[in-house]
Amino acid sequence: MHRPLIFLTAFLALCASAASAMPPGTSLRPEPRPATSQATPEVTVSSQQSSLAVVRSIRPALRGADVAANAQPIVEVNLRTTPTSDAGFARWIDAFQGRARAQGIRQATLDTAFRGIQLDEQAISRDQNQSEFTRALWDYLDSAVSDARVTNGRAAFVANRQTLEQIEARYQVEAEVVAAVWGLETAYGAMRGSSHIIAAMATLAYEGRRSAFFEAQLIAALQILQSGDTTPENMTGSWAGAMGHTQFMPTSYLDHAVDFTGDGRRDIWSDDPADALASTANYLAAFGWTYGQPWGMEVTLPQGFDYAQTGERTKRSTDYWNRQGVRLADGGGRIPDHGQASILLPAGSQGVALVIFDNFHVIERYNPADAYVIGVGHLSDRIGGGAPFAGSWPRQDRALSRDEREELQRRLTAAGFATDGIDGIIGPNTIEAVRRYQATVGAVPDGYASLTVLQRLR
Ligand SMILES: [Ca+2]
């Protein structure tokens, strides 16, 4: 039933050329955890304390007016004259439409959504050529919480103050945190992505390595269109499906997007960010955000502190940490009581130390990488007038490559410190293995998966 047509897409080339202009270091999509294996094609993350390795984002980078100007069909060509892969795509769309109808998608919706569709070759190339380049946490934070992003965030905050304050009042999520997510996801709306979501999701479902995942996203995108929230032309985002000012995946949109403006449409794509920002607040609220609780605070650790107590898995009362001699880095005071807390050393004993509260784990629902959570949290503090971190980072260190991370896991496992798999992701099991190994050899047991640990294992 589809019309096998193809249109030239000048905007794809423009997207590629604009990639160098993208400011955020990582892409963020609200997706349920555990997300590291299936949900975040643009970010390789670990979900625990030494998630130093963050793959650079490869999100497409045009926005609003450019997309509108360039995304229109220019020339229509019969698909049967195009390469085999496109003919295969046409057959796939035929079969998919049957599955979509079985899930309640009307033919009229399908006809509109797939009119003029073509294979999104950029999505394929991006999906197949994800960078192995990894950034150290401090390099990531240099970008995520750069002076420019702080300055722009304060300006965006002022410009949208009334909306943000109304959202805070309704959803009980601090305006600075919502603004920080906005800042990290799309540089406050400047980089919302110009990929056609239907084409990109259909392409990745047809040819991608995670077909079931992207077909579910495609069905969700069609449900959004069927509900009348937006049109296929306006439904744009990243090549991997993240949409709007705060980069919602279609399935997360269905669960959490809201119509804050009251016009009957949950329009996270428009220039007006109100619906998108409210949707983000609603998302965080749904996952248990505690109003008034910090995400975390920078601390100093006393001489003789037992580093074996660090890590997200060890939760203690703030009173316990205060009795251990942990103090706020800013002013040296005691940690205020915001419930159970952990001490996080994202770059080991030589880097910034944090006390983190439950809200840290709520931000993880947006993206489980510690680097991202710290980026959002710290940016929110900076937008609110807070100071940069007082501590320093071990900038002489470099991030381990994927091969090195796997080697680390192999060597730890061989040495009797099981990492529960060799996947190249420095997660809680690997961190714990590092910590136990460090304790055995008389090193500071901070769980920091550094080159030093790897070299010692060799
Ligand atoms: Ca609306």
Q: What is the pLDDT of residues 138-180, one digit of tens each?
A: 999 999 999 999 999 999 999 999 999 999 999 999 999 999 9
CB atoms within 10 A of CB 291: 11
The pLDDT confidence band at residue 4, using thresholds 50, 70 and 90, is: very low
Rounded distance between C-alpha atoms, residue 46 and residue 428, angstroms: 8
Q: Is pLDDT above 50 for 305? A: yes
Residues 6+ apart with CB under 8 A from 146: 23
- Using the mean position of ligand 1's atoms as its centre, give its distance from the Cα of residue 227 in Å: 13
Q: Which residue has the higher pLDDT, 22 or 179?
A: 179
N residues, the chain: 458
- Using the mean position of ligand 1's atoms as its centre, give its distance from the Cα of residue 345 in Å: 41
**Cα-flanking dihedrals φ and ψ of residue 86, to 5°?**
-70, -35
Give the residue from 84, 108, 115 showing the smallest Cα distance to 206. 84
What is the model's pTM? 0.81
CA angle 178, 180, 181 (to 5 degrees): 65
Rounded distance between C-alpha atoms, residue 435 and residue 8, angstroms: 54
- Using the mean position of ligand 1's atoms as its centre, give its distance from the Cα of residue 267 in Å: 5
Can you give the pLDDT at residue 368?
86
Give residue-wise pLDDT tens across range 351-408: 999 999 999 999 999 998 889 999 999 999 999 999 999 999 999 999 999 899 999 9
- Using the mean position of ligand 1's atoms as its centre, give its distance from the Cα of residue 118 in Å: 29
- Using the mean position of ligand 1's atoms as its centre, give its distance from the Cα of residue 24 in Å: 26
- Using the mean position of ligand 1's atoms as its centre, give its distance from the Cα of residue 67 in Å: 21
- Using the mean position of ligand 1's atoms as its centre, give its distance from the Cα of residue 171 in Å: 16
Radius of gyration, CA atoms only, the chain? 23
> In the chain, pLDDT over 70 holds for what percent of residues?
81
Can you give the pLDDT at residue 132?
60
- Using the mean position of ligand 1's atoms as its centre, give its distance from the Cα of residue 30 in Å: 19
- Using the mean position of ligand 1's atoms as its centre, give its distance from the Cα of residue 263 in Å: 5
* DSSP label at residue 116: T
Q: Give whole-number Cα distances, 220 to 104, 178, 195, 206, 315, in Å.
A: 11, 24, 16, 16, 37
Are the beta carbons of 393 and 137 closer than 8 angstroms? yes
Task: Please identify which residue in the block is written with the tokens 């998108």.
Answer: 276
- Using the mean position of ligand 1's atoms as its centre, give its distance from the Cα of residue 262 in Å: 5
- Using the mean position of ligand 1's atoms as its centre, give its distance from the Cα of residue 268 in Å: 8
Average pLDDT, the chain: 83
Rounded distance between C-alpha atoms, residue 227 and residue 17, angstroms: 34
Residues 6+ apart with CB under 8 A from 307: 345, 349, 435, 444, 445, 446, 447
Tokens of 191: 């980089």
Q: Where are the alpha helices (DSSP H) in 287-337?
A: 318-323
